Structure 1
Amino acid sequence: MARASVTEGAARAGLAARGAIYLLVGALALQITFGEGERQADRGGALAELSEKPFGAVLLWALGLGLAGMALWRLSEVAFGAAGADGRTWRKRLASAARCVFYVMVASSVLSFAAGARGGGAGTSSDEQSRDVTARALGLPGGQWLVAAAGTGVVVAGVWIGARAVMRSYHKHLRLAEMSRGTRRAVDTTGVAGGAARGLVFAVAGAFAIRAAVDYEPDRAKGLDDTLRSFAGTPLGPTALTGVAAGLVLFGLFSFAMARWRKV
């Protein structure tokens, strides 16, 4: 019982922390749309923005610890299985392990930023990180194939994320019976629109990585900030960026809903 209580608290704190980051990134992207944004629309920019708020240091530590809670939750799923009938299958455990590793990396970068190590991963532009990683990968034997494969994986992940959001696959993870009709409608609005926008961003970033591999040019790879800005260069112009940015804000709100209603 004690373990379940700790795991549940960690999961809900992690989901709330994820929501806060997406809200900030979406808000920064909206500022870019209106020509007011000076920050990078990525995790580093979000943390820098947060650090300048009242009690910013406290908020950064809370965010980092919340993300560490997300990693702990995923680790518990690897060890004990996830909620649901198929939560103990090897496929679910493997997915939880991958998510655990990802959130360990994110949490460590946020905590490093909070501790003042601005040169760490969270303080570095996601665009610079993407170009650096791509350049190193291209320099390896078979590097073009590695980068192309990684980009394809990100595209597939983006399509999968968006499709699951549109199909409302998240319903199986929610305590729907405890929601009112209005609450369920609001959660679906944020879940579908937010998940679709998140998936689209992943897919476009993956496409840029594939292009970098084909052209053998690391600068073709784009991080979150450059990926978001690229939407403004489409035929829809700033309208496309506005829509995607609003979608990321909605995904942040959806993450808060998940923190409240998710089965853990």
Structure 2
Amino acid sequence: MSDNTIPPSADAAARRTKNSRAVQLLARGGYVASGVLHVLVAWLAVQLALGQPEGQADESGAFRTLAQMPGGEVVLWAVAVGFAALAVWQLLTAAVGVPNAGNQAGERAKSAAKGVLYAALAVSGVRAAQGTGGSGSSEESMTARVLEMPGGPLLVGAGGLAIVAVGVYHVVKGARKKFLRDLTGTGGGSVGQVVVRLGQVGYVAKGVALGVVGGLIVAAAVTTDPAQAGGLDEALRTMRDQPFGTALLIVIGLGIGAFGGYSFARARFARL
């Protein structure tokens, strides 16, 4: 039996599937889907900053915006398939490991978490395409349920701190250009410079937004008030309501758009 406790036949099948051209092409399509989603969230964030919100400035708002566009249902199905393929690729990576990675356990855990996230986005895309996507604050309802559990405030606080940590990780990854490890190249020349800048700005902006989301969840834990919790939309509204918040939100929105642009580039240059 292999060192990852998967039977040799299953391990070999998982590796063949992960490395197949079809799965990798579909996974690259998942990065295109991510680009579409982030660009739409950026548009909604800027509209929110300008006082002309067209919907929630988060993933659910982006899906609903897509659904309302001409041909949006077809695009939503394509986005859902892309996220589903990327979820499969990440989960297969979690199963068979990352080549030449020093910390296999950490890399597998990260791939598994990404796989779950992309799977959730795929489900959200399907629901939006079918017209069954909800619009309630799932963050608040989930936080309320956890707060009612024994030790609930500690669990919620730990979850919020974990999200803050992910936000810090994104900021560091962008500032130090660590995202270049995820790419086989950047296209070189002026194209390469644009890809690097998009990655830097995008990761930092997304990290800041995630940090605010985590902070809101920690606040809910401290006050035991689930209404304090919120997702990306609530985090962006919190930014907007601060001094110079409009300018800050526009900058963050443009940064999220930059991450969308980087995601399009990653579809071409991702190391799979």
Length-normalised TM-score, structure 2? 0.90
Q: Give the Cα separation in 1 of the matches to 2:265 and 2:232.
A: 24
Conservation of the 8 A alpha-carbon contact between 2:202 and 2:258: yes
Q: Give the Cα separation in 1 of the matches to 2:94 and 2:231.
A: 29
Conservation of the 8 A alpha-carbon contact between 1:162 and 1:195: yes
SS in structure 1 at match of 2:259 = helix
Residue 246 of structure 1 is matched in structure 2 by: 254
Cα offset, 1:4, TM superposition: 2.3
Q: Give the Cα separation in 1 of the matches to 2:41 and 2:224.
A: 30
Conservation of the 8 A alpha-carbon contact between 1:80 and 1:88: no
Residue 177 of structure 2 is matched in structure 1 by: 168
Alignment of 1:1-264 (within 5 A): 3-82=19-98, 84-86=99-101, 89-118=104-133, 123-125=134-136, 128-176=137-185, 179-264=187-272
Once structures 1 and 2 are overlaid, which stretch shifts more, 73-82 or 51-60? 73-82
Q: Give the Cα separation in 1 of the matches to 2:157 and 2:214.
A: 9
SS in structure 1 at match of 2:135 = coil
Conservation of the 8 A alpha-carbon contact between 1:81 and 1:87: no
**Aligned amino acid, residue 179 of structure 1:** G
Conservation of the 8 A alpha-carbon contact between 1:165 and 1:192: yes
Identity of aligned residues (%): 34
Q: Identify unmatched segments of 5+ residues in structure 2.
A: 1-15
Q: Give the Cα separation in 2 of the matches to 1:154 and 1:143.
A: 17
Q: Identify unmatched segments of 5+ residues in structure 1.
A: none
Note closer, same or farther for the CA distance 1:181–1:11 as it changes in structure 2 (3 Å cut). Answer: same
Q: Give the Cα separation in 2 of the matches to 1:131 and 1:239.
A: 27
Q: Give the Cα separation in 2 of the matches to 1:172 and 1:109.
A: 29
Note closer, same or farther for the CA distance 1:87–1:104 as it changes in structure 2 (3 Å cut). Answer: farther
* Count of paired positions: 256
Cα offset, 1:114, TM superposition: 1.0
Q: Give the Cα separation in 1 of the matches to 2:103 and 2:156.
A: 32
Conservation of the 8 A alpha-carbon contact between 1:10 and 1:72: no
Moved over 4 A (4+): none
CA RMSD of aligned residues (A): 1.6
